[in-house]
Structure 1
């Protein structure tokens, strides 16, 4: 079942935790790719110096963060990689959740070929783990790019998120990664991941 718009219309901190275990779906090339979300990070513009919209900053790139909840925010970093985020909370409140890692569920040969030009059973153990255990890696594997910015994730389309997973798990809270510039915000425990999942980017 596709997750409703209302699910996202809450604090990024709540959505970041509740997205764990949900399934990211990418329809592309006649295939339906699925991956379980196993690691997230919350970003809250009002108080978070790591957020692109900190202190009310509004630019052409960040304007999407002020839109209604439940749309994608995909940006380019280092001139090389994309990062996939979910906009949360109500309109004009700039918050989002970064999807940091997913566990691939199906079409393993397809995404392995994209990442390594090999079939899944030809990958080394390290390569199989590295398929989607980071924000840019999952965007590469699932062909997520800026063409999919501002997509409504609560509607069936090129990318959306479903709640098809009933497993139970323990959630770990920790500091976010790669934001040492963010002063006090670098110490916020706003990264969440499924304990012991091998696809988590960093324990």
Structure 2
């Protein structure tokens, strides 16, 4: 499995969010490969996007990596969960793509152990906090180059039937709450539940 080249992530954020659908997210831990096919993403467009942590070019210790080169990992904590984002676009333009859901494709028994609970496979990785726990992705991955092992993305099969909706959990962000920047594979059962 060859990681996608770093230049892949220089695509504009909205394009990258769609291009990542169908690719495989891989985390090599010890002698295991935990693998999931990306089926849901969300785009966050920095300075002009009130839902982004980097709105108005807000540069903090947390958001600093978003201003760096494309292909770096931006992890942050929400409640007790770690969320995985990939920095997109050009240096100085704080855009990122959130990986919201994956379809388990390898190392499933280890993913279940990582979740530490008895859970149906369908609910294993159908949310951004669930997938990071299942794959063993933590805040220690902040700033990691996603084109390098042990955490990386490989080319998959492009998804033909992409659906869109407003993003999840950004209700108090004015008009940004309605931007249709959530992308997912239509009718895939591993997509997160939209409330």
Output the TM-score relative to the length of structure 1: 0.91
Q: Give the Cα separation in 2 of the matches to 1:20 and 1:201.
A: 14
Runs of 4 or more, structure 1, over 4 Å off, are: none
User: 1:114 Cα shift?
Assistant: 1.9
SS of 2:76 mapped into structure 1: strand
Which residue of 2 is the match for residue 196 of structure 1? 187
The residue number in structure 2 matching 1:182 is 173
Cα distance in 1 for partners of 2:157, 2:49 equals 32
- Partner-residue secondary structure (3-state), 1:184: helix
Structure 1 partner of 2:121: 128
Alpha carbons 2:40, 2:185 under 8 Å: kept: yes
Count of residue correspondences:
193
Q: Secondary structure at the match of 1:87?
A: strand
Deviations 1:116-160 (A, max 9, x none): 445xxxx5xxx22110000000011001111011111112x1200
Q: Is the 8 A contact 2:22 2:37 kept in 1?
A: yes
Show structure 1 runs of 5+ residues with no match: none
Shift of 1:108: 1.2
Aligned residue number for residue 13 of structure 1:
14
RMSD: 1.3
Distance 1:153 1:52 in 2: 20
Question: 1:169–1:195: 8 Å Cα contact kept in structure 2?
Answer: no
C-alpha separation between the residues in 2 aligned to 1:28 and 1:2?
16
Residue aligning to 2:76: 75
3-state SS of paired residue (2:124): coil
Q: Spell out, residue by residue over 1:54-112, the C-alpha distance to the aligned partner (whole angstroms, 9 max, x if none).
A: 0010000100000000010000112x110000000110000000000000101111111
Change (3 A) 1:52 1:21: same
Give the CA deviation at 1:8. 0.7
Which blocks of at least 5 consecutive residues in structure 2 are unaligned? none
- Aligned match of 1:153: 146
- In structure 2, what is the Cα distance between the partners aligned to 1:35 and 1:25? 7
TM-score normalised to the size of structure 2?
0.95
> Partners of 2:117 and 2:192 in 1: how far apart?
22
Find the aligned partners of 1:167 and 1:12 in 2 and give their Cα distance.
17
Residues 71 and 146 of structure 2 are in contact (CA less than 8 Å); yes or no, is this contact kept in structure 1? Answer: yes
Out of 139, 155, 164, the residue aligned to residue 132 of structure 2 is: 139
